[in-house]
Structure 1
Amino acid sequence: MKIRHAAIALLSFAALTCASAQAGDDTLYHQFGEKAGLERIVDDMYANVIADPRTAPYFENAPIKRIKTKIVEQFCVLLEGPCVYTGRPMRRTHEGQNIDRAAFDALVEDLQAAMDKNGVPFHAQNKLLAKLAPMYRDIQDRE
């Protein structure tokens, strides 16, 4: 599966998209199916990353339940839902994992497939991806 060109363009302009979001607007959260929808999306995304040879090695021996819980929390916060993220900072969580751009892009593709499977509208997907894109700076390999 190739990364959609529109998603790449939106990732480049993440700051613009995030700045235009209305505070307290839970419309995007509802488009993702609220917490139950996010849990389904994260379950499907995790199944995708485990099956994907480009991402699977990063998840060997990983605490699956904790990871899923924290990703749901994080997505919920980014989508302006009624959640609190209780996980560690991204830099600390991914430290020493040698994550490069190719692995990050593969995970994005796996997430897109999960969102497609769960009927998330394309424009809503792009809004979430735009909010996630700046996190690459915090998870990338620094060596």
Structure 2
Amino acid sequence: MHPFFKHILAAAALGASLLAPLAASAQSADASLYQHLGEKPGIERLMNDFVTRLAADARTGPFFAKANLPHLKEQLTDQVCQVSGGPCEYGGADMKTAHADMDIRKGDFNALVEVLEQAMDAQGIAFADQRQLLARLAPMHRDVITVR
């Protein structure tokens, strides 16, 4: 796992409630991350790569064995588009509801993050932009991890 994300997870676990307002502020401030990710076409490519890797990874694959992968790609594209400051609106379930019955542990979440980092590397996304996206997504861990 990338050292930066380990730091983000540690901060979140120790009460990074400060990250959520900062991320929300960063989202509304500008759309530069959205542009750096290649706007919607770039985010679609990233999510296609990411979901393909998730399904193939031995650690995360079982969580996605029965998933509608094309629908998941669309939902993740809209979510990342919105989180990165783009014009999309994520209309899916909130993270707590979507993951309630999945028995996700911290290690499972960390594996997903590693797969996302692999996909971002493969798509040539700059490290600074990777850090920014991970920082904006990190607060979701509180609702995704269901087994404490």
TM-score by length of 1: 0.90
Match for residue 104 of structure 1 among 93, 105, 109: 109
- Unpaired runs of 5+ residues, structure 2, are none
Q: Percent identity?
A: 39
User: Distance in 2 between the 1:47 and 1:22 partners?
Assistant: 27
Match for residue 90 of structure 1 among 95, 116, 125: 95
Matched, 1:67 2:72: yes
Match of 1:122 in 2: 127
> How far 1:10 sits from its partner (Å)?
3.7
User: Distance in 1 between the 2:2 and 2:123 partners?
Assistant: 17
User: Distance in 2 between the 1:90 and 1:108 partners?
Assistant: 15
User: Distance in 1 between the 2:147 and 2:93 partners?
Assistant: 18
Matched, 1:7 2:12: no
Match of 2:136 in 1: 131
CA RMSD of aligned residues (A): 1.8
Q: Which has the higher contact order (CA 8 A, sep 6+)?
A: 1
Residues paired across the two proteins, number: 141
- CA contact under 8 A between 1:17 and 1:127: conserved in structure 2? no
Between structures 1 and 2, the one with greater helix share: 2
User: Distance in 2 between the 1:93 and 1:10 partners?
Assistant: 22
TM-score by length of 2: 0.87
- Unpaired runs of 5+ residues, structure 1, are none
User: Distance in 2 between the 1:44 and 1:21 partners?
Assistant: 26
Change (3 A) 1:17 1:119: farther
Q: What secondary structure does 1:119 align onto?
A: coil
